Structure 1
Amino acid sequence: MAGINVLSSCKKRKDEEGILRLLADDTSTQNGAQSPRRPRVQAPKGRHIPAQGGDAKRATNIRIALCVKGGGGWRAFFARRAAGTLGYRTQKRESPEGATYRAATIGRPFRALFPLPLALIGSVRMLHSCVEDCFRMTKVSEPAPLGEPLSVFGPREGFSPQIGIFVSQLNWMRHKVLSRLKNLSQEDLDWLPDERSNSIGTLLLHLAASDVYYGLNTFDGLPWARYPEEVVNRWEPAMKLGDLGRNWIRGNDLSFYLSALTETREHTLSEFRRRDDEWFMAVDLKWGWGPTNNFCKWFHVCEHESHHIGQIDLLIKQLPSRNVVPNQDVREDSIVAGKASRTALGVAIRRASHQVHDSSPLVLNDPIAVPILGEVYRAALEAAAESIGEESSIAMRALLVARNRLAEDKLAEAVSRGVKQYVLLGAGLDTFAHRNPHQNLRVFEVDHPATQQWKRNLVASSGLREPSTLRYVPVDFERQQVSVQLEESGLDLSAPTIFAWLGVVIYLTRPAFRSTLAFIASFRNGSGVVFDYALPRHALPSAELYARDELASRVESIGEPFRLFFTPSEIRQELSAFQLIEDFDAPMLNERYFSNRSDGFSLRGRSANIVCAWR
């Protein structure tokens, strides 16, 4: 091997589609035995050498020069393996034509990224004689660390390669946290759902404290238990959380927490800029939980932030300021047990979000959906925009507008056949009565007295008028019968009537569901009901179980648990008193209302169906 002329080989292999491999002879064989170790090489700062196909040839204690054709042009790298390590140092050169080249000399150790295919074609003594010739044929472009968007992870300007990639992950996670914090008041930041929880403010300061504590250990080399007293006094309540955090961290506005997050993170990034990948990968054998390196320690900070963002999301969803409603008594067996104010508000906000954020054509054109929320719930509507593109948000919003649209379409068909009465069971903040296009149709809204008073207050404060065709039917379900209250409100029990029973059935007990269905079935032929029902857990594909369980946990936490589920065959048995049954699943609804859309807005999965049943 030593007799091969490296320089001439260099010229012969000047192939713009391949790899020029130059490798010195094996200088470490002893007694004819060769080590099976495989050489590895890492790109200079800011660059990545693309992996190449083929089996790597094994060699030991080598000195190499490598020319690679990559995404940025030809690149030349030189390295030596000695004393059990690989090392490199690069220098940039500018040619008269402005082309950029990189020269290399033997340098500090570095970590391997992948096996490198090499061919033994030269002698170490001849290697450096061909360096300049290699550079004349290996034009490269300037290293270009990735910048924004945040959602693209990769090297970042001013950081070593591995640290830069990690910084891009830190920046993304911090962006996700900050995106949650719009319109949070001091009361929101201090609010505790129970005596064992942490507030949003405490969690935010905890994230800032994590940068401080891990920075002192990794940047300053201080043992965890020997931090300066002034640091412990300032940050210990945030770091430990629990009673200490609850007692000390309160009374601060959002700017206080944002300032702490910015201050600590800027210090972290400035320290990262001063360090290299060798430091990042250096192993700490004295770490209390076993050997680790600085990469793992700081990955825990990023992981920590990911964990706490879930807690922050849950707290925000439960904030009293975003669920302000009159105190009302929710009866388990009532006809509208599931339409307690918090879920009614959530439905109204999603209907309004559809008007504001989804592309045309709207599935449900509801010009009253936003005005009825008024100034009282403006913050809640704005907060909903933060998750508007999430799969769970799209799926829920699509279901809500589809079921209202289907109910109103079926109502229009019934009106054309002469039906003049429409009853909304568990009306919540439904707006149909304010949009009613049918001149002779009377609308009856049934709900708990407190819910109806809440809605009427919103209507008045928003400057809306109560239509003359609308009748509110307040029902105290423990002491009053729905049929009696409807009749007293002017409903003709002998006339064909359409009932909308939306977003209610899943919250009912089976006896309550059956008694209400029997009441609807008592109306004369031509009457009908539109309602939605949820499939049981065992009937769902595994991909949908997490979303169902997460939603069930959320509504149960506000006192409105899911109770009742049906399969399509079971629901048909329950509807035996009805003559015609239409059962719409997600694909049927997508075909009916969401086809030919370019924005991806549609129903997901098969968690719920909508039934139309006719007498």
Structure 2
Amino acid sequence: MKNESFTALVSAFSRAYHAEHNQIKIFDDSLARQLLTKEEYEGIASSMSQGIAFFQPEFAGTQEQALRRVVDHQLSPSPLGRAAFAEQALEVSAMHGARQYLIFAAGYDTFAYRQPEWAAKLQIFEIDHPATADDKRRRVSALNPTKPSNLHYISFDFNEQDLQKRLLDCRAFDPGVISFCSLLGITYYLSKDVFKHFLATITKLLPGGSSIVFDYPDEHTFTPSAKERTQKQVMMAARAGEPMQACYSYEELERMLEDVNLLIYQHFTPDQITGQLFKAYNDSQPAHPIRAFDNVNYCLAVKR
């Protein structure tokens, strides 16, 4: 990946669009819009509205209606739902002693720049591929050159570099401190062996009580039984040059986590995500409901 992640840019767009167009929000990323240039925002909006025939061939309506349909139906559910799930879990973890927040594949995540008062006790580490990380820092510095004092950057290639060494080389990182790790949007793009090794490295490095939150595609993702949205998402990722590589059954995931000394603490299926995380928004917007993405589950695991 020589350039910044396209899927990360689209995720930022979807969070920005949701924040700007709704009073009651699934997840409020108030800064996402500022990370995108006017040309990028309008370009992604135009591309997505023009792509309505791919997403929903039966649709009839205006370009703006088409854009909202694509965003609500295809783009927003995962970025909004998993961010809400992760940050709710992070707050609980911080209340119970977590003092480090490791954001792997941080992309254009804005938590460090809109962090609430309870996050002041956390040291925040944004960990990402150098191309995306450098682009993110460039965009943020253009808005606000003052970096939060508790924020640290670590460049890391998930397929090539030694994670333990990269973390320990960062002076601010303390392997003896209970930590909360976010791995959102990662499992799709790593082989099962690489992901398991990645989890094992994290759990060996951090103390008991540390948590890992992630989303993952279920065992039907690459089969004909996958839902239509899922099939199109797989196609989109491949076309963007970021093909999905792995999917998991709950039983397989549970065994993998146990092998690396992790226990599942919380697990949401699509129906549970819609019912618990999207309810307030859906009640406020009956004409524009959002359902959690098909074939994607959320998991919070804790080291024994």
Task: Flag whether TM exceeds 0.5 (same fold).
Answer: yes
Correspondence for 2:133: 452
Q: Relative to structure 2, which stretch is displaced further, 585-594 or 475-484?
A: 475-484
Report the 3-state secondary structure (helix = DSSP H, G, I; strand = E; otherwise coil) of the residue aligned with 1:360: coil
Correspondence for 2:61: none
Correspondence for 1:345: 9
Residue 536 in 1 paired to residue 219 in 2? Answer: yes
Report the 3-state secondary structure (helix = DSSP H, G, I; strand = E; otherwise coil) of the residue aligned with 2:227: helix
Relative distance call for 1:397 and 1:427 in structure 2 (3 A) is same
Q: How does 1:206-221 map to 2 (within 5 A)?
A: none
Correspondence for 1:524: 207
Correspondence for 2:297: 609
Shift of 1:430: 0.6
Report the 3-state secondary structure (helix = DSSP H, G, I; strand = E; otherwise coil) of the residue aligned with 1:465: coil
Residue 412 in 1 paired to residue 91 in 2? Answer: yes
Relative distance call for 1:481 and 1:605 in structure 2 (3 A) is closer
- Higher-RCO chain (CA-CA 8 Å, sequence separation at least 6): 2
Shift of 1:541: 8.4
Relative distance call for 1:465 and 1:375 in structure 2 (3 A) is farther
Shift of 1:378: 3.2
Q: Which amino acid aligns with 2:106?
A: A
Relative distance call for 1:529 and 1:478 in structure 2 (3 A) is closer
Cα deviation 1:297-347 (Å, max 9, x = unaligned):
xxxxxxxxxxxxxxxxxxxxxxxxxxxxxx717xxxxxxxxxx61111111
Match of 1:588 among 252, 268, 272: 272
Q: Which amino acid aligns with 1:444?
A: F
CA contact (8 A) 1:503 1:532 kept: yes
Q: Decide which structure has greater helix share.
A: 2
Match of 2:42 among 376, 379, 389: 379
Q: TM-score if structure 1 supplies the norm length?
A: 0.43
- Alpha-carbon distance between aligned partners in 1 of 2:229 and 2:73, rounded to the nearest angstrom: 12
Q: How does 1:33-48 map to 2 (within 5 A)?
A: none
Bigger Rg, which one: 1
- Alpha-carbon distance between aligned partners in 2 of 1:342 and 1:566, rounded to the nearest angstrom: 24
- Alpha-carbon distance between aligned partners in 2 of 1:449 and 1:539, rounded to the nearest angstrom: 30
Correspondence for 1:283: none
Residue 394 in 1 paired to residue 76 in 2? Answer: no
- Alpha-carbon distance between aligned partners in 1 of 2:253 and 2:263, rounded to the nearest angstrom: 14
Cα deviation 1:516-555 (Å, max 9, x = unaligned):
110222221110100000113379785x533222221222
Q: Which amino acid aligns with 1:485?
A: R
Report the 3-state secondary structure (helix = DSSP H, G, I; strand = E; otherwise coil) of the residue aligned with 1:399: helix
CA contact (8 A) 2:15 2:28 kept: no
Cα deviation 1:335-366 (Å, max 9, x = unaligned):
xxxxx611111111111111112x32111122
Correspondence for 1:364: 27
- Alpha-carbon distance between aligned partners in 2 of 1:538 and 1:469, rounded to the nearest angstrom: 38
Residue 572 in 1 paired to residue 254 in 2? Answer: yes
CA contact (8 A) 2:217 2:247 kept: yes
Relative distance call for 1:604 and 1:448 in structure 2 (3 A) is closer
Q: Which amino acid aligns with 2:268?
A: F
Relative distance call for 1:535 and 1:467 in structure 2 (3 A) is same
CA contact (8 A) 2:10 2:44 kept: no
Report the 3-state secondary structure (helix = DSSP H, G, I; strand = E; otherwise coil) of the residue aligned with 1:428: coil
- Alpha-carbon distance between aligned partners in 2 of 1:548 and 1:607, rounded to the nearest angstrom: 7
Q: How does 1:12-411 map to 2 (within 5 A)?
A: 328=2, 341-357=5-21, 359-375=22-38, 377-380=40-43, 382-383=45-46, 384=48, 386=64, 387-390=66-69, 393-411=72-90
Shift of 1:405: 1.0
- Alpha-carbon distance between aligned partners in 2 of 1:496 and 1:517, rounded to the nearest angstrom: 16
- Alpha-carbon distance between aligned partners in 1 of 2:79 and 2:296, rounded to the nearest angstrom: 11
Report the 3-state secondary structure (helix = DSSP H, G, I; strand = E; otherwise coil) of the residue aligned with 1:579: strand
- Alpha-carbon distance between aligned partners in 2 of 1:376 and 1:509, rounded to the nearest angstrom: 35
Correspondence for 2:120: 439
CA contact (8 A) 1:499 1:530 kept: yes
- Alpha-carbon distance between aligned partners in 2 of 1:449 and 1:401, rounded to the nearest angstrom: 25
Mark the runs of 5 or more structure 2 residues left unpaired by the alignment: 50-63
- Alpha-carbon distance between aligned partners in 1 of 2:85 and 2:252, rounded to the nearest angstrom: 22
Relative distance call for 1:598 and 1:573 in structure 2 (3 A) is same
Report the 3-state secondary structure (helix = DSSP H, G, I; strand = E; otherwise coil) of the residue aligned with 2:91: helix
Q: Which amino acid aligns with 1:530?
A: V
Tell me the percent identity.
27
Shift of 1:463: 3.9
Equivalent residues, number: 277
Relative distance call for 1:507 and 1:539 in structure 2 (3 A) is closer
Relative distance call for 1:561 and 1:580 in structure 2 (3 A) is closer
Q: TM-score if structure 2 supplies the norm length?
A: 0.83
- Alpha-carbon distance between aligned partners in 2 of 1:539 and 1:341, rounded to the nearest angstrom: 22
Cα deviation 1:223-255 (Å, max 9, x = unaligned):
xxxxxxxxxxxxxxxxxxxxxxxxxxxxxxxxx
Report the 3-state secondary structure (helix = DSSP H, G, I; strand = E; otherwise coil) of the residue aligned with 2:32: coil
How well do the aligned residues superpose, as a CA RMSD in angstroms? Answer: 2.3
Report the 3-state secondary structure (helix = DSSP H, G, I; strand = E; otherwise coil) of the residue aligned with 2:255: helix
Cα deviation 1:274-294 (Å, max 9, x = unaligned):
xxxxxxxxxxxxxxxxxxxxx
Relative distance call for 1:476 and 1:553 in structure 2 (3 A) is closer
